[in-house]
Each structure stands twice: as structure tokens, then as C-alpha cells.
Amino acid sequence: MTMALYSTSALESALMPEEQLLFSVDHMSMSNSFNVNQYDGGEYTMGMAYLAAWQGPVYDADDPYGDGVTRDDLAAVKHVQQMLIIDGKDYQGIKEAVFKYGGVQTSLYSTIASSKTKTPYYNKQTNSYCYMGQDKPNHDVVIIGWDDNYPKENFNVDLEGDGAFICQNSWGSSFGDNGVFYVSYYDTNVGTHNVVYTDIESADNYDNIYQSDLCGWVGKMGYDKEDMYGANIFTAQSAEPLRASGFYATAADTSYKLYVVKNFENEYSFKNKTLVAEGSLKNAGYYTVDFDEPVDLESGERYAIVLYINTPGSTHPMAIEYNSGEAYMSTVNLDDGEGYISYDGVAYINVKEKQDCNLCIKAFSDNR
């Protein structure tokens, strides 16, 4: 639930000021593709997968918080088309993202279970928190501001210097200052895992989504070099213009090229690929790239989206969905896609021959 709660909170804070919307936490935590219950928590990439797949968000009024049930008949009321991952401990990047986009979702280690819990890491008088230790993050919060001059004396531990992020928590107005508290810049985990929702569009931006990676970015693959080609094959539902593709950059400074292959038949069809977009991406994250020109498809036509990706310093640049062995991945469906990979863009093999996985490459189209 923690993952869902802060994904929806960060999403809400990234909307335009005139849009005061409340999204359903229950729906994100229960109507996703993972084998989790509402109180298991989860990785921030799980929230990204739910949003990238258009499984949500939905309004809290349609799937209210805390009743232990969810609805699987609801359509997403917004389409999230871009989510940036900010490098660990890049405090300047976090501040810039808060300023530009709203709240940044980040993770802490917390022994606090509610507003009534006592812990040596939290100063109740000053609403200030700092943990310095080896425990891994287990709780998400939303960074909504910062104060470089916030006094180090306000924390329960001795610190080298001043400064704190201003964070929103989930335990209601009785915690902190109406739900808001300070986390020291010197906290071990704050700012280590960060995601910000940067492109939230209306639900009519595209009519159709084609995908086989409902669990999103679970792992990475490659040829022990920084670049490779990957392709997913889809079948057009109707005569429609193909407009865009969605994929993950697994690290900063990734460059890409996108191609389309019409009338795909087999591995030899890749020689007929046409370049439709190219560019570079500053941050890791999930991106949707519009094609330079739409590609017209006929009903029932098989087509390929080909992604060339180059991620400096990486040996496994391509995001994949696979069964990692974790309990929450036991429901992953790896038979819903047809994907190919290539070392050089000339010879392609079915991705299942190298690893039992799906490639994280989506396609978007409009109805004619």
C-alpha cells in the first residue's frame, strides 16, 4: 500500500494547479498485474508499470480507500506517458524536479507505523526525521519542498550540517505539521530512489495501447555492451494510424532510434524497417515518443516496433519483464508477447531463445 499511496500522492501533486483530483490508492495496490495484497508495499517500479500500462489511475470516489475491495471495471482517467527516475542522492536534480513538476516520490527506512509510534529517529517537537544506518528503505514519502538552512539541531542525531527536505507523509494530519515533516539531507536513504511524474495527459490522447509488459521494468538484458536492438510484434485491431511508442531508459544519457516494420512476417522482415523517431534522454525512466509522422496500418496487419537503444556505461541497456522469482512476480504472463533482439540490427533472434522474458516496448495508435 505504501508504494500505491505515494505514487498517487506524487501523481496528484504533479497535476496542474487547477486540477484538484484524488486518485484511488486501493485500485493501484490491488488492480495491478502483481501478486501482492494491499498491505505488502512494493517497489516504485510497480507503480510505474501500473500507470504505464493504463491500468490507472482512477478516481478515489469510484474505488474508495480502505474498504478492502477494488473494482476491475474502471478505465484510467489519466494517461501517464512519462516518468523520470532521478539519480540517487542527486539533491539538485530532486529540487529542480520539485520546482518543475511537483512532488518527487522517494524512500526512507522507517520504524514508524502510525502517528502514535515513538522512534529515536524522529523529533516530535520539531517534526524532524533522520536515520543513519544500514537498513534498506521500507517506506515511501513525497518530497514537496526543501530548506537548505533547516537547523541540524532540530534532529535527534548529531549531523555535519544543516538542510532538510520537506516531505508529505501518509498518517494523516496528526503526524508532523498537518502531515508534513522534515527529513535531513544526511538521512541514509532519502533521495536514493526517486521518481517524478512529468507527463500526465487526458485519457483520450491515444485510442489504443499495444503492450506485453504489464509488470513493466523488472530487469535488464543486453549483449555486454552499451547498445542493442529490440523489437515487439503486434497486430493492428483496425485500420488505424500508429502514432507513438513507449519504452524505458534504464540509465541516464540514453540515446534511441525507433523504427516501424509494416506487414511483418518473420525475422527477415526487419530489413524493411523505417526510421520514425530518434533522440536522447537525460534521465532514466519511462518515455513515450511520438513518431515524426503517423504510420498507417490496415486491420489485422502485423507490425514491429523496433527500438535501438544506447546507454553509456551499461552492459544491459534493454528493460525487460520476467519472472524474477519474487513472490509478487508469480502471476507474470510471459506468453502474451512476441519479441526479438539483435546484436547489430541485422540478425535477430526470438527473445525467448536468450531469456524467457518480454521486452518493455509499447505502441500507441488512434482510431480512424
Question: What is the distance between the alpha carbons of residues 5 and 145, in angstroms, rounded to a whole number?
Answer: 19
C-alpha cell at 260: 516501424
Helix/strand/coil for 64: coil
The average pLDDT across 223-242 equals 98
The average pLDDT across 118-135 equals 95
More confident residue, 130 or 69: 130
Q: Kindly give, in sequence order, each residue whose CB lies less than 8 Å from that of residue 254, ignoring residues fewer than 6 positions away.
A: 280, 281, 284, 309, 310, 311, 312, 317
Q: Are 225 and 341 in contact (CB under 8 A)?
A: no
The full DSSP string for 138-206 is: -EEEEEEEEETT--GGGSSS--SS--EEEEE-SS-TTTTBTTEEEEETT-SSTTSSEEEEEEEEETTS-
CATH 3.40.50.1820 fits 2-196, yes or no: no
Distances (CA, A) of 314 to 46, 87, 225, 266, 272: 23, 15, 6, 29, 28
pLDDT exceeds cutoff 90 at 233: yes
145: which strand partners?
166
- H or E element in which residue 330 lies: none
* pLDDT computed for residue 14 by the predictor: 87
The average pLDDT across 177-186 equals 96
Closest C-alpha to 56, from 13, 20, 22, 16: 22
* pLDDT computed for residue 367 by the predictor: 96
Closest C-alpha to 231, from 136, 350, 323, 327: 350
pLDDT in tens, 6-32: 588 889 888 877 788 999 888 998 999
Phi, psi of 44 (to 5 degrees): -65, -25
Question: What is the distance between the alpha carbons of residues 323 and 326, in angstroms, rounded to a whole number?
Answer: 7
Cut 0.85: pTM above it: yes
* pLDDT computed for residue 1 by the predictor: 43
Considering only 5-9, 80-84, 274-278, which range has the smallest mean pLDDT?
5-9
CATH architecture of 206-365: Sandwich (2.60)
Q: Give the start-to-end residue ranges of the domains of the chain.
A: 2-196, 206-365
C-alpha cell at 280: 536522447
HEC profile of 1-60: CHHHHHHHHHHHHCCCCCCCCCECHHHHHHCCCCCCCCCCCCCHHHHHHHHHCCCCCCEC
pLDDT exceeds cutoff 80 at 170: no
Q: Are 361 and 368 in contact (CB under 8 A)?
A: no
What number of other Cβ atoms are within 10 A of residue 116's Cβ?
9
